[in-house]
């Protein structure tokens, strides 16, 4: 089953420490070589994006930035056996931040993607 992990946070001033980037690289290589991580990328600040809404029969478009205090920073797409496994990968990613960039604060949303097995169970 596939899970999308969205990382949000408010980074401290300055670039991330090189030790953090190295630890992220090592963790990403492990996740990729195990077959768990399918894709990942950093996300540009919301000022570069837009939001498209359908409300009351009307479609509106609002350019970023958005008012949320935290920015979505990155995503990772995983193919894992369970939600617990996806949560473990997210936990390890946050532990790397905790260890190498203690001033960083944020979170990871672990979202299950529907697959054919889910639709078969509904019918």
- Nearest to 7, CA basis, from 92, 64, 82: 92
Cβ burial of 96 (10 Å; 0-12, 13-18, 19+) is buried
Of the pLDDT bands very low, low, confident and very high (cuts 50, 70, 90), residue 17 is: very high
User: Is the pLDDT at 121 greater than 80, yes or no?
Assistant: no
pTM: 0.86
User: Is the pLDDT at 123 greater than 80, yes or no?
Assistant: no
What pLDDT is stored for residue 24 in this prediction? 95
Per residue in 62-117, pLDDT (tens digit) is 998 887 767 889 999 999 999 999 999 999 999 999 999 999 999 999 999 998 88
């Amino acid at each position: 089953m596939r899970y999308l992990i969205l990382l949000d946070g408010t980074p401290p001033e300055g670039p991330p420490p090189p030790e953090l980037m190295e630890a992220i690289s090592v963790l990403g290589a492990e996740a990729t070589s195990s077959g768990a991580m399918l894709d990942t990328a950093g996300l540009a600040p919301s000022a570069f994006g837009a939001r498209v809404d359908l409300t009351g029969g009307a479609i509106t478009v609002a350019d970023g930035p958005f008012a949320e205090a935290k920015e979505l920073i990155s995503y990772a797409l995983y193919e894992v056996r369970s939600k617990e496994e996806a949560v473990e990968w997210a936990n390890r990613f946050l532990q790397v931040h905790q260890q190498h960039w203690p001033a960083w604060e944020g979170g990871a949303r672990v979202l299950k993607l529907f697959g054919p097995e889910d639709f078969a169970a509904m019918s």
